[in-house]
């Protein structure tokens, strides 16, 4: 089976890495990919939002399955255009992807099925959470403990467009729960915990994610999926817009039980970089089965062991990215047992250089989270580029 992975980040590198090990894989392609993915397959200079270019590529290299990584092309309907041309796509339609693309729409769906969720506020009275309604690359959520913080958050949220969303501030531990759906059936995949703020101790602004680990505590995955994912998948199907792809629920484990923070319509980043190394088995049949509406024929790979991912970012992230700075030490990190997923890299003058905000994802795998954490940070210490920053408390006690 020839597969095309759409995207260029660490999540897409992790997907390409996992899919490349499948006994069913033929050729692996990526659009546009990155230098890490290029070591696994063929990368093509086609943007993720260029449906026409992707369709031409699919036909040229005879792709059997397209796996779309980022949320933006899903929300804009790239998957729809490919499917209309007869291409098998893992990823929801634009209509179903509104479960992430519009928080107000998602709230309506969640309320209609009665899933436990953070309460909506009419006015932003601190303490509260202020959210952008549309896509914001993980940077559209502001936790406000004071009215001064509310006042500062509002213009930033409004800059993303749409009306802001105000919610109660929930307390507890966050959890990312992944499940695969073919539009009617739902298969639990894994749970992870990520670190959204840029600084140690959850300080500083929100980012796309500075690290993650899996598994995340003693949780009943089946119960969580039956409480949150299955009712929403059923409601979307009832509305005539079945969800096909990876549905990711961001939950808060409160003293009153788990409550929904948000839904995402794709694999999380950087959670995927920790989840996939923990799956013992072939991922490709599961994704292909979901895309074809035959999930019952495709058993999910079983969780095994633990993984911890630490994000190496540019010195000014998340305000700005970094480009052209030479990177050293990846081979040494891999030699000490770490997996290194490229998130924002490029080649220039024969050297690997920075090309983004989050540059590399260093993942350690072990029998326990503690073992995996030690291996991840050992790998981080081997890598260097000017201005590199990372959190030192990922998966810490």
**According to the model, what pLDDT value does residue 98 have?**
97
Q: What are the C-alpha distances in Å from 383 to residues 311, 320, 331, 362, 388?
A: 12, 21, 9, 9, 9
Q: Are residues 292 and 348 in the same domain?
A: no
Residue whose entry in the numeric block shows the structure tokens 């969780």: 303
Long-range residue pairs from 33-40, CB within 8 A, at least 24 positions apart, any chain: 33/5, 33/8, 34/8, 34/9, 34/342, 34/343, 34/344, 34/345, 34/346, 35/342, 35/345, 35/346, 35/347, 35/352, 36/340, 36/341, 36/342, 36/345, 37/5, 37/8, 37/12, 37/13, 37/342, 40/16
| Average predicted confidence (pLDDT) for the chain | 96
pLDDT at 352 over 80: yes
Q: Is residue 110 part of a domain?
A: no
Q: Is 292 in the same domain as 346?
A: no
Residue 203: predicted pLDDT: 93
pLDDT of residue 137: 76
Q: Does residue 99 sit within a domain?
A: no
Token code pair at residue 96: 């179903």
Average pLDDT, stretch 145-168? 92
Look at residue 51 and tell me whether its pLDDT is greater than 70.
Answer: yes
Selection from 83, 82, 97 nearest residue 46 by Cα:
82
Q: Is residue 131 part of a domain?
A: yes
| Separation CA 283–CA 299 (nearest Å) | 9
Residues 193 and 137 in one domain: no
Task: Report yes or no: 142 and 157 within 8 Å, Cβ to Cβ.
Answer: yes
Q: Which of 259, 276, 303 is the last residue of a domain?
A: 303
Could you give the number of structural domains in the chain?
A: 4
The CATH number covering residue 313 comes to 3.90.600.10
CA distance 60 to 82: 14
Residue 213 in contact with residue 274, Cβ under 8 Å? Answer: yes
Q: Residue 46: count other Cβ atoms within 10 Å of its Cβ.
A: 22
> Which pLDDT score, from 0 to 100, does residue 136 have?
81
The answer to whether position 320 is within a domain reads yes
Of all residues in the chain, the percent with pLDDT exceeding 90 is 93
Q: pLDDT value at position 184?
A: 95
Q: What is the mean pLDDT of residues 63-67?
A: 98
Distance CA 210, CA 195 (A): 5
Shared domain for 294 and 177, answered yes or no, is yes
263, 279, 303 — which closes off a domain? 303
End-to-end CA distance of the chain: 43
The residues, ordered by sequence, that sit 6+ positions from 54 with a Cβ below 8 Å of its Cβ are 4, 6, 31, 46, 48, 66, 78, 82
Is the residue at 97 inside a domain?
no
Q: Would you state the structure tokens that stand for residue 385, as one six-digit string?
A: 């580029």
Query: Does residue 217 carry a pLDDT above 90?
Result: no
d(CA 238, CA 80): 19
Phi, psi of 364 (to 5 degrees): -105, 140
| Helix residue ranges, H only, 192-296 | 221-224, 230-238, 271-275, 284-291
281 plus 310 within the same structural domain: no
> What pLDDT is attached to residue 242?
97
Q: Which CATH number goes with the domain that contains 192?
A: 3.30.470.20
pLDDT of residue 397: 66
Question: Does pLDDT of 362 surpass 80?
Answer: yes
Same domain flag for 215 and 267: yes
Tell me how far CA of residue 352 lies from CA of 108, 270, 355, 363, in angstroms: 46, 21, 9, 19
Instruction: Tell me which of 218 and 137 has the higher pLDDT.
Output: 218
pLDDT of res. 92:
98
Average pLDDT (338-366) is 97
Q: What is the dihedral angle through the alpha carbons of 34, 75, 207, 142, rounded to the nearest 10 degrees?
A: 170
In a domain, 291, yes or no: yes
The predicted-structure confidence for 27-50, as pLDDT tens digits, reads as follows 999 999 999 999 999 999 999 999
34 falls within a domain: yes
Average pLDDT over residues 201-210: 92
Peptide bond preceding 318: is omega within 30 degrees of 0, i.e. cis?
yes
Q: What is the pLDDT of residue 218?
A: 86
pLDDT digits (tens, 9 = 90+) for 296-330: 877 889 889 999 999 999 999 999 999 999 999 99
pLDDT tier at 124 (50, 70, 90 boundaries)?
A: very high
Are residues 181 and 287 part of one domain? yes
Partner residues linked to 281 by β-bridges = none
Q: Say whether pLDDT at 140 is over 90.
A: no
* Neighbour count for residue 85 (Cβ, 10 Å): 14
Domain that holds residue 62: 3-90
193, 175 Cβ separation under 8 angstroms? yes
DSSP 304-352: -SEEEEEEEE-TTTTTS-EEEEE-B-HHHHHHTT-EEEESSEEEETTEE
Q: What CATH number does residue 77 fall under?
A: 3.40.50.20
Q: Is residue 111 part of a domain?
A: no
User: Which percentage of the chain shows pLDDT scores above 70?
Assistant: 100
Q: Are residues 276 and 320 in the same domain?
A: no
Residue 186's SS3 state is strand
Say whether both 17 and 84 belong to one domain: yes
Q: Does one domain contain both 282 and 175?
A: yes
pLDDT of residue 368: 96
62, 138: one domain = no
Number of C-beta neighbours around residue 388 at 10 A: 19
Reply yes or no on whether the pLDDT at 125 is more than 90.
yes
Mean predicted confidence (pLDDT) in 95-108: 95
Pair 301, 287: CB distance under 8 Å: no
In this prediction, residue 386 carries a pLDDT of 97
The CATH number of whichever domain residue 142 belongs to comes to 3.30.1490.20
Of 90, 107, 133, the last residue of a domain is: 90
Domain shared by 289 and 325, yes or no: no
């Amino acid at each position: 089976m020839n597969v095309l992975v759409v995207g260029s980040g660490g999540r897409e590198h992790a997907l390409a890495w996992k899919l490349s090990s499948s006994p069913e894989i033929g050729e692996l392609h990526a659009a546009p990919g990155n230098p890490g993915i290029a070591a696994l397959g063929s990368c093509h200079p086609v943007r993720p939002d260029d449906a026409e270019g992707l369709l031409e590529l699919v036909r040229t290299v005879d792709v059997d399955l397209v796996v779309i990584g980022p949320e933006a092309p899903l929300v804009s309907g790239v998957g729809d255009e490919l499917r209309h041309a007869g291409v098998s796509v893992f990823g929801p339609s634009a209509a179903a992807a509104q479960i992430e693309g519009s928080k107000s729409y998602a709230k309506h769906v969640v309320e209609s099925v009665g899933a436990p969720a953070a309460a909506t506020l009419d006015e932003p009275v601190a303490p509260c959470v202020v959210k952008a309604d549309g896509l914001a690359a993980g940077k559209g959520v502001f936790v406000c403990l004071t009215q001064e913080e509310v006042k500062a958050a509002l213009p930033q949220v409004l800059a993303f467009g749409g009306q802001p969303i105000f919610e109660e501030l929930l307390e507890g531990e966050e959890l990312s729960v992944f499940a695969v759906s073919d539009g009617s059936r739902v298969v639990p995949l894994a749970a992870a915990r990520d670190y959204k703020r840029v600084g140690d101790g959850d300080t500083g602004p929100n980012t796309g994610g500075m690290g993650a680990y899996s598994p995340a505590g003693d949780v009943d995955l089946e119960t969580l999926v039956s409480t949150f994912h299955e009712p929403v998948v059923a409601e979307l199907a009832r509305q005539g817009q079945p969800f096909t792809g990876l549905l990711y629920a961001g939950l808060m484990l409160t003293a009153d039980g788990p409550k929904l923070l948000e839904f995402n319509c794709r694999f999380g980043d950087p959670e995927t970089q920790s989840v996939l190394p923990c799956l013992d088995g072939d991922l490709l049949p599961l994704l292909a089965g979901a895309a074809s509406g035959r999930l019952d024929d495709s058993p999910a790979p079983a969780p095994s062991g633990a993984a911890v991912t630490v994000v190496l970012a540019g010195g000014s992230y998340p305000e700005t990215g970094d480009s052209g700075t030479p990177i050293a030490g990846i081979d040494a990190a891999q030699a000490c047992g770490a997996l290194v997923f490229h998130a924002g890299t490029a080649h220039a003058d024969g050297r690997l250089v920075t090309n983004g905000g989050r540059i590399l994802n260093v993942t350690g795998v072990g029998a326990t989270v503690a073992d995996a954490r030690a291996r991840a940070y050992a790998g981080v210490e081997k890598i260097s580029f000017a201005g590199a920053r990372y959190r030192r408390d990922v998966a810490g006690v």
